Amino acid sequence: MRKWTATALALVLTSPAFAIDEITVTATKRPMPLQTLVGNTASLKGEELLDLSFDHPAEALNRLPGVDIHHNNGQEHLTGIRSPVLTAGAGAGSFLFAEDGIPLRAPGFANVNGLFDAHGEQAARMEVVRGPGSALYGSNAVHGLVNVLTRNPLDDKSSFLDVSSGSHLQSTGKFLYTSPGESSAYNLALTLKHDDGWRDDSGYDQQKATFRWDQQSGDRRMTAVLSGNNLNQETAGFIEGPKAYEDLNLAKSNPNPEAYRDAKSLHGFISLAWDEGDRTTTLTPYFRVHDMNFLMHFLPGKPREENEHKSLGIQLRRDQTFDAHQVIYGLDIDLTKGSLYEYQDGPQVFSYTHGLHYDYEVTAKSASPYLHTEWQLSEATKLVAGLRLDVTRYDYDNKADVVTVGRFQRIADRSDTFTTLTPKLGITHAVADEINLFARYARGQRAPQTTDLYRLQIKQEVGEIKSELLDSIEVGARDAIGPVTWEVTAFAMKKKNFFFRDSDGFNVPDGRTKHWGVELSGAAPLGGMFSLSGALTYAEHTYDFNNLVAANSTEDIARGNFVDTAPKWLGNLRLNWTPSETFRTELEWVHMGRYFTDGANTNDYDGHDVLNLRAFWDVTDTVTLYGRIENIADTAYAERADFAFGNERYFPGEERSFFVGIRKAL
């Protein structure tokens, strides 16, 4: 391990993954040079996303520093961004998933699998902010946010047809059409995916569509986007037993052939912007509709859940320039009505009882004024300060009896209001023509998820759950200009009111954690036909409180223990070989470090190293053939390791697999 770490560190420090004079959008919701950004943003651009031809967002986003997304089964995932890989309400609520800056799900109604609603396969770019978002982003942007940016048809005139196929009858078709036009244009993107699954009874079908229309006339601009997703998945569950993933027959098996997930979503917005001298006003009304039902195969008793929510919202924003200074202020309003129904068809297992668990509706209202300022203190120094207020009210309506059954506590109707205030302060300073230093303090805070508040268990008290709060500081340096680009960032964070589930599935509403680490990323030519890019992360995530069995817990957690599913080391290195203008290859090395699988730190996973190979051949100016081999060494590994309900559990990593495709520009 020491040898690998030293080698990777040396390679990444001579490298980064930025383009010359790269532009980023997410931090302020408007284009700005990455070089002068206060804080961090990492991105994947459209060409790279197309070349990856990824089937799961983890394949793309895990190339970025500080990102650790676990591919469970099918299109399911769990996310870690500058954090452990989090589950349940923490996994849903600690990250903001957005498309064009608009959250894909409503505050309080997030989903741990939220990335399958985004059309990342055909995005213009995917940007990740590690740690709390800026003042322009509110609830859920605590540990980080992922923003998927759709293609602007006025700037990107691409049209293409792309088809690919491979192992276990996996096939993908992508179609993009962009209309001509200089001041008015639209595009239509379609992605169709089918996979029989490499494990038994684990196939899925998924369809995504995005329509975008842009108009520009003088000082007025309009953007309209409509995007939808439909997923029908047969899910393979955990395999159990010590290092069960090393047994190929067991890895291919499915202990839960009855498991499934069906999810539909539709969201859209119209953004109107107009300039008035040194001011720009933007008005963006939006809507979202989500409907999902699935079998909770990962819990004893395997209850089924049906949930849905519908939202209307509006974002009002004004940008104003005063000489070299800029001010952005605005108001976000979101109105949502949602419901959840949970029922166990089978007999009682442990305290998971047969019959109804929960049946309720929640109406949510949130209002969020914010202020973001940028002050050019000198030609080399810029100060950024911001403040956001989020006020969230939930009105809970219980549709079932008020009773406790097994571990499930159904509570009476009630209303809850949460108010959070999140300041931000940062500075950047150019010490040379190309090198910038930056430092940033940010607070992330979110109202509890509705499932945290109203899907209560025994041992919990009504109304005890508080808003999760995280304070973060980071310092870094970057050179994002030229053929060799790099960024290094160090961070430290403290979090309280951490709501999580212990290894027996019981809720812990008042945890505390500490986090610190260093993230490196870079890209560089190596001379001749070779280049290198990659990311390396070292981080420690520990509990900062005691939660002992003697104190009515089911799992001993002591201050200083490592949070489960929090590897210290993450690495992704890519060696590129381009022998000609028409042919290129990429060898990718994915490293996952060892991590504990329970909060008591009594069980662990050794980690893994996986190699992938991709190749591209531009047959003509309009036709590209491509292929990839995943896990070329046929390594036995686990996409996710877990310890729960007394068992070692794994989602096994896929054996060696092959894929080929062709893309034709239209």
Condensed to tens digits (0 to 9), the pLDDT of residues 391-450 reads 999 999 999 999 999 999 999 999 999 999 999 999 999 997 789 999 999 999 999 999
Separation in Å, CA 420 to CA 81, 202, 230, 411, 539: 22, 42, 34, 25, 28
- Quick check: 27 pLDDT over 80? no
Q: How far apart are CA 39 and CA 27, in angstroms?
A: 9
Q: Give residue 554's pLDDT.
A: 59
Q: Give residue 35's pLDDT.
A: 78
Identify whether the C-beta of residue 193 lies closer than 8 Å to the C-beta of residue 168. no
Q: How far apart are CA 152 and CA 176, in angstroms?
A: 12
Domain that holds residue 135: 2-665
Q: What 3-state DSSP class applies to 115?
A: helix
Q: Shortest CA distance to 558 belongs to which of 549, 566, 546?
A: 546
Identify whether the C-beta of residue 609 lies closer than 8 Å to the C-beta of residue 574. no
Q: For 496-504, what is the mean pLDDT?
A: 88
DSSP H helices, 78-137, are 88-93
Listed in order, strand segments (DSSP E) in 593-645 are 595-596, 604-605, 608-618, 623-630, 638-644
Q: For 47-65, what is the mean pLDDT?
A: 93
Percent of the chain having pLDDT more than 90?
84
By mean pLDDT, which of 23-37, 297-311, 356-370 is the weakest? 23-37
What is the length of the chain? 666
Of 88 and 519, which is predicted with more confidence?
519
- Quick check: 2 pLDDT over 50? no
Identify whether the C-beta of residue 384 lies closer than 8 Å to the C-beta of residue 421. no
Condensed to tens digits (0 to 9), the pLDDT of residues 225-244 reads 999 999 999 999 999 999 99
Identify whether the C-beta of residue 298 lies closer than 8 Å to the C-beta of residue 238. yes
Q: How far apart are CA 329 and CA 120, in angstroms?
A: 29
Q: What is the CA radius of gyration of the chain?
A: 24
- The identity of residue 123, as a single letter, is A
Condensed to tens digits (0 to 9), the pLDDT of residues 240-271 reads 999 999 999 999 999 999 999 999 999 999 99
Q: Give residue 18's pLDDT.
A: 39
- Quick check: 192 pLDDT over 80? yes
- Quick check: 221 pLDDT over 80? yes
- Quick check: 160 pLDDT over 60? yes
Separation in Å, CA 593 to CA 288, 438, 517, 534, 638: 38, 28, 14, 16, 12
- Quick check: 70 pLDDT over 50? yes
Q: Give residue 483's pLDDT.
A: 87
Listed in order, strand segments (DSSP E) in 304-410 are 304-322, 325-344, 355-376, 381-398, 404-405, 408-409
Name the strand (E) or helix (H) holding 666: none
Q: For 317-323, what is the mean pLDDT?
A: 92
Separation in Å, CA 20 to CA 101, 434, 435, 438, 578: 24, 11, 13, 19, 19
Q: Shortest CA distance to 289 belongs to which of 551, 421, 53, 109?
A: 109
Condensed to tens digits (0 to 9), the pLDDT of residues 81-121 reads 999 999 988 888 899 999 999 999 999 999 999 999 999 99
- Quick check: 501 pLDDT over 90? no
Q: For 581-595, what is the mean pLDDT?
A: 97
Q: Shortest CA distance to 95 belongs to which of 45, 59, 57?
A: 57
Q: Shortest CA distance to 233 belongs to which of 56, 33, 50?
A: 56
- Quick check: 163 pLDDT over 50? yes
Q: What are phi and psi of 150, to 5 degrees?
A: -75, 160
Beta bridge partners of 42: 128
Identify whether the C-beta of residue 516 lies closer than 8 Å to the C-beta of residue 539. yes
Residues contacting 378, CB < 8 A, separation 6+: none
Please tell me the pTM assigned to this model: 0.94
Instruction: Quickly list DSSP for 8-24.
Output: HHHHHHT-----TT-EE
Mean residue pLDDT across the chain: 92
Q: Give residue 548's pLDDT.
A: 73
Q: For 354-359, what is the mean pLDDT?
A: 97
Of 551 and 222, which is predicted with more confidence?
222
Q: For 601-626, what is the mean pLDDT?
A: 97
What total of structural domains would you count in the chain?
Answer: 1
Q: What are phi and psi of 514, to 5 degrees?
A: -125, 150
Identify whether the C-beta of residue 644 lies closer than 8 Å to the C-beta of residue 504. yes
Q: Shortest CA distance to 115 belongs to which of 30, 231, 22?
A: 231
Q: Give residue 21's pLDDT.
A: 57
End-to-end CA distance of the chain: 48
Q: Give residue 549's pLDDT.
A: 63
Strands 279-295 and 304-322: antiparallel
Name the strand (E) or helix (H) holding 249: helix 248-252
CATH of the domain at 618: 2.40.170.20
